[in-house]
C-alpha cells in the first residue's frame, strides 16, 4: 500500500492536487438591532464582569420564542416575539411580566412543574428567583411554595435534570466569588449546590453543597457515556480558585454526588472556564464538549469510549482554537464566553458560535474581540466565517443564543453586550439547505423530555444527534424547537431516545417543517398553538 | 475635666496609635505580589522573576536609603548608576518611604493585571497608606511618600531598558523560525498560541548581578540519536520508566514543584513565598528581610535569563516528543510540558541560583517548612536546607515527565554559577 501511494505521488509530480472538499455554504445575517425593538444593556462593574445571559422561551404558546435579557444593575427585560414567520425580527417589551428584577446575570427556561407552561430560573447576584409561567408571559415567584432557597451568592450557572422516578427536576446552581472578598477574591469561591425534590415530590429538600466548588461559570447535566443517567459537568474559572480544576459529578438517584476522579479517567484540566457547548459533532454516538476560555478555546472529544470520562483536546487539529481575533487588527489573545453548537447553514453538520469580549480593561487580551462563527466542513474540521456571514462586531460580548426567532428554519443570533445594547441578527440566507425543527412531548412531569436524544438521518448516511438539555452556554439557555439542518434532503427520518430509555421508531418527516414528536405517537406537523 | 483628661491619657498609654511597621509593609506588598503574579496573564516564570527582582530592589533601596548599615546596590547591579537620595537633615518615616516605593512599584509592574487585581491593588494602596501614616506629622508623611515614589520611578526607568519590559501575546512570538533539524524543539502543546517557544529573546535581557546571559554557559544536552541503545534514548527511557512506575510520593513532589504560570506563584514566587514565612517565623528585621528578598529576586531573575540563553543555544527536544516517537506512543506526562525548549531545566537553574543566594545570606542547613501550596491542597513539605529544596525542585521535573536528567543536573550547576553573583552583592555592611 505504501509503495502504491509512493508510485502515485511520483506519477502525479507537482500537478496533481487532492480532490477539493465542498466548501460549506456561508450563511448571511442581517443586523436588525435598530429595528427589532429591543433595547437592553448589561450594566455594572465588578460583580457583572461575568454573566449577561439571555433566555429564549415560548411563554405564550405561540411557538416563537420570547427573550428574557439580563440587565445586571439594570432591570431584566422580557421581550415578546412579534416577528412574522420568515419576516424581520420584531419584539415588544412586556410590561409587568414579573421578571423585571435587577441584579440578573442570566436565565434558563424549564417547565419545572410539568404544566405545559414554561417557567424560568433567573440567576442573580443575590437571591435566585424561580419563576412559574402562566402561559401568557406572566411569571410568579415560587421560591417559597417550592421551598427553594434562592440564596445570596454571585450566581453564574445552572443546569437541571429529571432523576429517575422524580416528579420535579433536580436543579444545580453554580456560583462564583464570595462577594465579601472583593479586595482579595482569589481562593474565595462559594459553594455550588444541588436541589433535589423532597419525599413528597411537591417541593424541594435541603441544599446539597457540591464541595469543592471552584468559581463556576457554566454547568451542564449531560449523558456523556449514554448510560441513561446524566452527570453534571462543571466548567470553572481558574483565575479565582485554588487547587481547582474542571469537574464532573456523578449524580446517581438517591446517592450523594461524587466527583469523577483521575483513577476513573477524568483528566486534571484547568482553564478559564466560561461556557460549555455540547453536541455529537462527529457522529460518534457521544457528545463532544467545547469549553470557552481565554486564549485557546478547548474542544474535548471522548477518547476511550464510554468506559472512562477521558477527553482528548482536539481544538488544534479541528481548527477551533479561536485563540485570538481573526480580524480587526488586534492580535492579543481572545476571551470566550457563550458558546453553542448549531447548524447555521442547514447542511447537516454542527457549526460553532463563540461570543467574545475582554473581561474588563485587561490589556494583555484583545479589546477588539469579534465573535466567532465556525462552520464545520466535510472533513469535520472548522472554518471561521464570522465576518463573511455578517455578524462582525467588536462590542464586549457575553451571553448569546442561536435560535430560530422567526420560524423560517434558519437560526438567528442574539448577543448580550456589557455596557452596551444587545445586538440581534436575522439569518437572511437564501441558499441554505433544508431543515426540520422538533419539539418533544411526553406524559408525566418531564413534559419536554429533558435528557432525550434526538437522531436525524443526514446526507451520506451520517446521523446528526443531540441531547435535549437544560444548562451550559454562558448564563444563557433556550427551550422550544430543536433545529436540524438536512442539507439537500427533501425528507428524512428522525427517532427519539426518550429519557426513560425507550427507543422510539424512526419516523419519516418532510423537510422544512416543524414537528411535534410525542412519545409512542407518530410525528405530527406542528401548528402554532399546539 | 481633669478626670476626663487623665482617662484619655490612660487610654493612649494602653492603646497608642500605632502605625504599621516596615516589616508589615513589605510582607503585605509581597503577599499581593504573589497573588498578582498568579493572576496576571503575562507573568510566565521568567517575567515573574523579573518583577520579583525589581520589587525586591525597590524595597531594599527604600530601606537602605535610611539605614547606615545597608549598602546601596548602585554600582553593583548592571547599569544601575544612581538613585535619588534623601534630603539631608530632614526627617523621614521608614514605613512610609517603603510603602510609597512598593506601592508605586506594584502599580507600575502590575499595571496590566485584570479587574480583580486592580481592585486588590487599589484596596491595598488605600489601606496601607492610611496605616503607615497613623500618628505621624503630615510633613513627614508627605516628604517620605514623595521620596519613596521618586526612588521607585528611578528604578522603573532603569528597568525599562533591560529588554524585558514589554510582553505581548502572553510572551509567545507571532513569528519565529523553527529549526527542522532532528533533536530540536518541536511544540508539544495543542494550543495554537504555544506553537512558538515562550520568550525566545529572554536570554538577551540585561542581567542584574552576573555579567550577561551567556556568562554561565553549559556543555549541552545528551547528543540526539535515534539509536535505541544510545545515551539519548536511554535518558528518555529513564523518564518513561520513572513516570510509569511513579510512587505516590513522586507524584506529590512533581505537583508540589509544578509551579505553573497562572495557577501558582511560579517557581520564583515559590521561593519568595517561603522566605516570607521564614522572615515572619524568625522575626527578621526589615533590613534582613529586604536584603534577603532583593538578593533572592536578583538570583532567580538572573537564573531565568541565563537559563533561557542556553535554551536558545541548544533548542532541545522535550521528553514527551521523544518517548511518543521512539518508545511509547500513548505515553503522557504528569505535568503540563512547558511550551519551550527542554535544556536546561528552568526550575533547576533558578532554584540552584536561589539556593546559593539564600545559603550565603542565611547559612547552610537552614531548615524550614514550605507551605506555599497549602491552600491548593498540596500540603506542607519540610526541607533541611535550601539545597535540599533546590535538589527536590530539580528532580521533580523528571517525576513530572517534562525534563531529562541532564537538564536538571546541568541546570542546578548553572544556578550554582549564577547564584554566586547574587551572593557576592554587598548589602549589609
Query: pLDDT per residue over B362-380, tens digit each?
Result: 999 999 999 998 887 888 9
Indicate yes or no: CB of A323 within 8 angstroms of CB of B168: no
User: Among A182, A321, A364, whose Cβ lies nearest the Cβ of B119?
Assistant: A182
> Does B33 lie at the interface with A, CB-CB under 8 angstroms?
no
Measured CA angle at A157 (ends A154, A161), to 5 deg: 135
Q: In this structure, are B109 and B10 located in the same domain?
A: yes
* B166 in a structural domain: no
Q: State mean pLDDT over A294-308.
A: 95
Instruction: Judge if B284 and B323 occupy the same domain.
Output: yes
Task: Report, as an integer, the average pLDDT of A231-244.
Answer: 95
CA distance B368 to B5: 50
Nearest CA in chain B to A303: B330
B82 and B224 in a common domain: no
Q: Is residue B319 part of a domain?
A: yes
Domain boundary pick from B159, B185, B200:
B159
Same domain, B62 and B148: yes
From the list B34, B47, B56, B44, the residue with the least C-alpha distance to B105 is B56
Q: Looking at the complex, does the CB of residue A363 fall below 8 Å from at least one CB of chain B?
A: yes
| A513 and chain B in contact, CB less than 8 A | no
Q: Give the mean pLDDT of chain B.
A: 94
Q: Is residue B167 part of a domain?
A: no
Q: Is the pLDDT of residue B111 over 80?
A: yes
B145 and B187 inside one domain? no
**Final residue of a domain: which of B126, B159, B192?**
B159
pLDDT tens digit sequence for B294-350:
999 999 999 999 999 999 999 999 999 999 999 999 999 999 999 999 999 999 999
Task: Please provide residue B419's backbone torsions phi and psi, each rounded to the nearest 5 degrees.
Answer: -60, -25
Q: A182 pLDDT exceeds 80? A: yes
Handedness of CA A115, A116, A117, A119 (dihedral sign): positive
Is the Cβ pair A314, B192 closer than 8 Å?
A: no
Instruction: Report the pLDDT averaged over residues A510-514.
Output: 97
Averaged pLDDT for residues A279-306: 96
Q: Provide the residue range defining the domain that includes B143.
A: 2-159
C-alpha cell recorded at residue A112: 419545572
* pLDDT of amino acid A248: 98
pLDDT of residue B10 exceeding 60, the answer is no
**Structural domain tally of chain B?**
2
**B174 close contact with A: CB closer than 8 A:** yes
Per-residue pLDDT tens digits for A204-237: 999 999 999 999 999 999 999 999 999 999 999 9
Of A14-28, A208-222, B413-427, the range with the lowest mean pLDDT is A14-28
Same structural domain, B222 and B141: no
Average pLDDT value for residue range A444-450: 95
Contacts of B167 in chain A (CB under 8 A): 364
CA of A316 vs chain B CAs: smallest distance (Å): 5
Three-state secondary-structure class, residue B277 = helix
Q: Are residues B336 and B243 in the same domain?
A: yes
User: CB distance B170–A295 less than 8 Å?
Assistant: yes
DSSP A180-240: GGTTS-TT-BPPEEEE-B-TTSSSB---EEESS---EEEEEEE-TT-SSS-EEEEEEBTTT
> ipTM, 2 decimals?
0.84
Residue B165 included in any domain: no
A202 interfacial to chain B (CB closer than 8 Å):
no
Pair (B141, B190) in one structural domain: no
Cα distance from B380 to chain A (closest Cα, Å)?
14
Q: Is B374 on the interface with A (CB under 8 A)?
A: no
* Range 102-161 of B in CB contact (< 8 A) with A: 111-112, 114-116, 118-120, 123-124
In sequence order, the 6+-apart residues with CB closer than 8 A to the CB of A204 are A146, A147, A148, A168, A171, A195, A196, A197, A198
Question: Average of pLDDT values for B403-423?
Answer: 98
DSSP assignment of B367-427 equals -EEE-TTGGGT---EEESSHHHHHHHHHHHHHHTTS--HHHHHHHHHHHHHHHHHHHT---
pLDDT band (50, 70, 90) for residue B404:
very high
**CB atoms A183 and B42 under 8 Å:** no
A323 CB-contact burial (10 Å; exposed 0-12 / middle 13-18 / buried 19+): buried
SS3 content of chain B, % helix, strand, coil (to 5): 55, 0, 40
Spatial distance between the Cα atoms of A178 and B345, rounded to a whole number of angstroms: 38
Judging contacts by C-beta atoms under 8 Å, the chain A residues touching residue B123 are: 182-184
DSSP 8-state code for residue B148: H
Query: Residues 117-176, chain A: which have Cβ within 8 Å of B?
Result: none
Mean pLDDT of A91-108: 98
Q: What is the percentage of chain B residues whose pLDDT exceeds 70?
A: 96
**Terminal CA-CA length for chain B:** 53
Q: Calculate what percentage of chain B has a pLDDT beyond 90.
A: 89
Of A238, A314, A360, nearest to B115 by CB-CB distance is A360
Encode pLDDT of A378-406 as tens digits.
Answer: 999 999 999 999 999 999 999 999 999 99
| HEC secondary structure over A317-360 | HHCCCCCCCCCCCCCCCCEEEEEEEECCCCCCCCEEEEEECCCC
In a domain, B326, yes or no: yes
**Total number of residues shown for chain A:** 530
Q: B36 in a domain, yes or no?
A: yes
Cβ-Cβ contacts under 8 Å for A365 (sequence gap 6 or more): A294, A332, A333, A334, A335, A358, A359, B41
What CATH code is carried by the domain that includes residue B302?
1.10.606.20
Q: Is residue B168 part of a domain?
A: no
Domain's final residue, options B159, B184, B204: B159
Confidence category of residue A469, pLDDT binned at 50, 70, 90: very high
Whether residues B133 and B27 fall in one domain: yes
**B15 contact partners, CB below 8 Å, separation of at least 6:** none
- Determine, for residues A362 and B115 on separate chains, whether the beta-carbon distance falls below 8 Å: yes
CA nearest to B379 within chain A: A243
Nearest CA in chain A to B265: A242
Q: Cα B96 to chain center, whole Å?
A: 25
H-run or E-run covering A160:
strand A153-161
What's the average model confidence in pLDDT over B11-18? Answer: 48
Output the pLDDT for position B18.
65
Contact across the interface for A324 and B170, Cβ inside 8 Å: no
Judging contacts by C-beta atoms under 8 Å, the chain A residues touching residue B38 are 186
Q: Are residues B144 and B16 in the same domain?
A: yes
Nearest in space to B32 (alpha carbons), one of B112, B123, B145:
B123
| Same-domain pairing of B149 and B245 | no
* Chain B residues closer than 8 Å to A332 by CB: 168-169
For residue B375, the model assigns a pLDDT of 80
Task: For residue A243, list chain B residues with Cβ-Cβ distance below 8 A.
Answer: 373, 375-378
Q: Do residues B404 and B322 both lie within one domain? A: yes
* B17: pLDDT strictly greater than 60: no
Q: How far apart are CA A52 and CA A395, in angstroms?
A: 13
**Per-residue model confidence as pLDDT tens digits over B48-77:** 999 999 999 999 999 999 999 999 999 999
pLDDT exceeds 70 at position A20: no
Helices (H) and strands (E) in chain B, counts: 14, 2
Taking the C-alpha atoms of residue B151 and residue A515, their distance in angstroms, rounded to an integer, is 74
**B181 falls within a domain:** yes
Amino acid at each position: 500500500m505504501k509503495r502504491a501511494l509512493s508510485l502515485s505521488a511520483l506519477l502525479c509530480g507537482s500537478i496533481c492536487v487532492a480532490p477539493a472538499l465542498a466548501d460549506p455554504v456561508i450563511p448571511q445575517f442581517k443586523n436588525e438591532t435598530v429595528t427589532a425593538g429591543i433595547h437592553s444593556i448589561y450594566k455594572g462593574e465588578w460583580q457583572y464582569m461575568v454573566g449577561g445571559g439571555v433566555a429564549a422561551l415560548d411563554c405564550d404558546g405561540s411557538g416563537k420564542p420570547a427573550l428574557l435579557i439580563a440587565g445586571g444593575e439594570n432591570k431584566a427585560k422580557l421581550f415578546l416575539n412579534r416577528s412574522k414567520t420568515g419576516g424581520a425580527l420584531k419584539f415588544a417589551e412586556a410590561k409587568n411580566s414579573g421578571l423585571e428584577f435587577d441584579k440578573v446575570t442570566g436565565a434558563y427556561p424549564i417547565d419545572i412543574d410539568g404544566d405545559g407552561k414554561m417557567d424560568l430560573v433567573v440567576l442573580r447576584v443575590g437571591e435566585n428567583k424561580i419563576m412559574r409561567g402562566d402561559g401568557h408571559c406572566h411569571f410568579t415567584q415560587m421560591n417559597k411554595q417550592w421551598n427553594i432557597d434562592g440564596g445570596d451568592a454571585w450566581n453564574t450557572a445552572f443546569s437541571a435534570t429529571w432523576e429517575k422516578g422524580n416528579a420535579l427536576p433536580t436543579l444545580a446552581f453554580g456560583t462564583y466569588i464570595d462577594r465579601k472578598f472583593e479586595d482579595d477574591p482569589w481562593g474565595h469561591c462559594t459553594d455550588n449546590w444541588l436541589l433535589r425534590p423532597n419525599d413528597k415530590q411537591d417541593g424541594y429538600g435541603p441544599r446539597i453543597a457540591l464541595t469543592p466548588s471552584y468559581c463556576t461559570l457554566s454547568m451542564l447535566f449531560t449523558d456523556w457515556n449514554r448510560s441513561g443517567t446524566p452527570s453534571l459537568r462543571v466548567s470553572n474559572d481558574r483565575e479565582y480558585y485554588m487547587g481547582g480544576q474542571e469537574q464532573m459529578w456523578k449524580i446517581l438517584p438517591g446517592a450523594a454526588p461524587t466527583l469523577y476522579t483521575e483513577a476513573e479517567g477524568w483528566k486534571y484540566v484547568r482553564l478559564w472556564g466560561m461556557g460549555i457547548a455540547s453536541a455529537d459533532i462527529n457522529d460518534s454516538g457521544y457528545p463532544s464538549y467545547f469549553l470557552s476560555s481565554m486564549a485557546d478555546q478547548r474542544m474535548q472529544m471522548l477518547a476511550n469510549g464510554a468506559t472512562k470520562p477521558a477527553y482528548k483536546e482536539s481544538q488544534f487539529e479541528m481548527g477551533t482554537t479561536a485563540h485570538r481575533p481573526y480580524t480587526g487588527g488586534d492580535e492579543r489573545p481572545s476571551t470566550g464566553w457563550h458558546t453553542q453548537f448549531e447548524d447555521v447553514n442547514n447542511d447537516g453538520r454542527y457549526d460553532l458560535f463563540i461570543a467574545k469580549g475582554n473581561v474588563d480593561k485587561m490589556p494583555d487580551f484583545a479589546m477588539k474581540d469579534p465573535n466567532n462563527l465556525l462552520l464545520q466542513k466535510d472533513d469535520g474540521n472548522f472554518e471561521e466565517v464570522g465576518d463573511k456571514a455578517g455578524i462582525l462586531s467588536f462590542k464586549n460580548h457575553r451571553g448569546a443564543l442561536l435560535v430560530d426567532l422567526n420560524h423560517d428554519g434558519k437560526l438567528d443570533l442574539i448577543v448580550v453586550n456589557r455596557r452596551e445594547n444587545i445586538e440581534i441578527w436575522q439569518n437572511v440566507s437564501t441558499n441554505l439547505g433544508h431543515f426540520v425543527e422538533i419539539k418533544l412531548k411526553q406524559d408525566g412531569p418531564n413534559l419536554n423530555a429533558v435528557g432525550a436524544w434526538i437522531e436525524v438521518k443526514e446526507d451520506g448516511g451520517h446521523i446528526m444527534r443531540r441531547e435535549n438539555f437544560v444548562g451550559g452556554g454562558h448564563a444563557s439557555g433556550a427551550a422550544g424547537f430543536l433545529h436540524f439542518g438536512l442539507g439537500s434532503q427533501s425528507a428524512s427520518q428522525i427517532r427519539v431516545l426518550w429519557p426513560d430509555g425507550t427507543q422510539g421508531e424512526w419516523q419519516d418527516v418532510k423537510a422544512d417543517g416543524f414537528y411535534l414528536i410525542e412519545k409512542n405517537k407518530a410525528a405530527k406537523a406542528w401548528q402554532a398553538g399546539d | 475635666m481633669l478626670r476626663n483628661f487623665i482617662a484619655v491619657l490612660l487610654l493612649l498609654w494602653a492603646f497608642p496609635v500605632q502605625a504599621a511597621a516596615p516589616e508589615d509593609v513589605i510582607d503585605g506588598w509581597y503577599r499581593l505580589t504573589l497573588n498578582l503574579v498568579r493572576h496576571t496573564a503575562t507573568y510566565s516564570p521568567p517575567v515573574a522573576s523579573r518583577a520579583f527582582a525589581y520589587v525586591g530592589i525597590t524595597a531594599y533601596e527604600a530601606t537602605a536609603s535610611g539605614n547606615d548599615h545597608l549598602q546601596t546596590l548602585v554600582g553593583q547591579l548592571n547599569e544601575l548608576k544612581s538613585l535619588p537620595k534623601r534630603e539631608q537633615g530632614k526627617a523621614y518615616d521608614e514605613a512610609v518611604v517603603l510603602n510609597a516605593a512598593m506601592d508605586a512599584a506594584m502599580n507600575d509592574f502590575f499595571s496590566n493585571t485584570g479587574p480583580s487585581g486592580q481592585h486588590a491593588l487599589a484596596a491595598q494602596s488605600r489601606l496601607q497608606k492610611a496605616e503607615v501614616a497613623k500618628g505621624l506629622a503630615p510633613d513627614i508623611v508627605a516628604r517620605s511618600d514623595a521620596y519613596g515614589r521618586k526612588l521607585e520611578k528611578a528604578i522603573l526607568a532603569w528597568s525599562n531598558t533591560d529588554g524585558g519590559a514589554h510582553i505581548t501575546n502572553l510572551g509567545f512570538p507571532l513569528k519565529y523560525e523553527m529549526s527542522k533539524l532532528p533533536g530540536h524543539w518541536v511544540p508539544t502543546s495543542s494550543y495554537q498560541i504555544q506553537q512558538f517557544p515562550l520568550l525566545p529573546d529572554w536570554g538577551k535581557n540585561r542581567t542584574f548581578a552576573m555579567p550577561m546571559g551567556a556568562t554561565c554557559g553549559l556543555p549541552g544536552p545528551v547528543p540526539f540519536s535515534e539509536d535505541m541503545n544510545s545515551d539519548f534514548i536511554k535518558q528518555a527511557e529513564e523518564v518513561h520508566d520513572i513516570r510509569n512506575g511513579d510512587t505516590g510520593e513522586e507524584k506529590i513532589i512533581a505537583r508540589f514543584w509544578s509551579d505553573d504560570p497562572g495557577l501558582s506563584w511560579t517557581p520564583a514566587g515559590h521561593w519568595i513565598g517561603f522566605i516570607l514565612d521564614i522572615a515572619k517565623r524568625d522575626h527578621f528585621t526589615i533590613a534582613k528581610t529586604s536584603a534577603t528578598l532583593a538578593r533572592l529576586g536578583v538570583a532567580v531573575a538572573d537564573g531565568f535569563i541565563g537559563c533561557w540563553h542556553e535554551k536558545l543555544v541548544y533548542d532541545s527536544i522535550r521528553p514527551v516528543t521523544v518517548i511518543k516517537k521512539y518508545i511509547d506512543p500513548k505515553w503522557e506526562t504528569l505535568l503540563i510540558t512547558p511550551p519551550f525548549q527542554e535544556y536546561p531545566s528552568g526550575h533547576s537553574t533558578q532554584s540552584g541560583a536561589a539556593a546559593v543566594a539564600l545559603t550565603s545570606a542565611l547559612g547552610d542547613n537552614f531548615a524550614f517548612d514550605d507551605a506555599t501550596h497549602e491552600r491548593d491542597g498540596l500540603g506542607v513539605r519540610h526541607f533541611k536546607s535550601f539545597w535540599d529544596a533546590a535538589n527536590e525542585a530539580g528532580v521533580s521535573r523528571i517525576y513530572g515527565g517534562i525534563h531529562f536528567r541532564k537538564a536538571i543536573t546541568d541546570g542546578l550547576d548553572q544556578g550554582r554559577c549564577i547564584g554566586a553573583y547574587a551572593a557576592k552583592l554587598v548589602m549589609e555592611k
